[in-house]
Structure 1
Amino acid sequence: MDRPSEYEDRPIRPYVITGGRAHPSRNTLRPETLLVANPESQLPMSASREKRSLVELCRGVLSVAEAAAHLRLPVSVVVVLASDLIDTGHLVVRSSPQRLVIPEIELLEKVLNGLRKL
């Protein structure tokens, strides 16, 4: 009766993993934010298993949502952990492409009219 879709109780509650905090120190982290480990920074021995795992996962570029899936933790918990690791210099936010620029309505109408003529 051990199905992956069933509820799985974790022995450690999320509030324990985050040190009792529900909010990150940074409000800029979103699920699509890309993270990469700082190769020049080494975690102290006192770092939690979750923080160590997160830094190890981010040796390549990884989004917050992907990291949460790999760690099997809620995204909100990973945001708090990632925020701490960014503050200490262990993780770096990789810039994502700038927001999509929406063209003017006149240009869109010209394209639509051109397509209708085909």
Structure 2
Amino acid sequence: MFKKVFRYLILGLGVYALIATLVITFYKDDPQAMIWQDREAFNKRYIDKLTIENPVNLNSVLDYLGSPDLTFAKRDKEEVWQIIFYRTQHIKSDGITTMDECSGLLFKNGELVLWGPSAFDAYQREG
């Protein structure tokens, strides 16, 4: 009797470990389905990991983070400048997302060139 229970226990733990591993490996977080606190943290973690050595393009950011909270774009001759904002810090519970609650990512022709507090200032200077 004890051997039978022990086998089922080991089998159950093995199946649980397999399912957990598959979920962790293949499940992609969906920022659109997150509550705002989780999405804020998700956005902040992603933006904090950005580096100049591994540049990203606009499409990869949109695929990973989903729709931005705010976005602005303009064309200057042959160059297209776009800045997108993702909420990364809560300031005021008013139901409105403002730029001071967001981190900006500045793109030139679809390639990330600057992010953080100075991104919007650079966007305004260009063009």
TM-score w.r.t. the length of structure 1 is: 0.29
Which structure dedicates a bigger proportion of its chain to strand? 2
TM-score w.r.t. the length of structure 2 is: 0.28
Q: Point out the structure with max Rg over C-alpha.
A: 2
Using CA pairs below 8 Å that are at least 6 residues apart, which structure has the higher relative contact order? 1
Which structure dedicates a bigger proportion of its chain to helix? 2
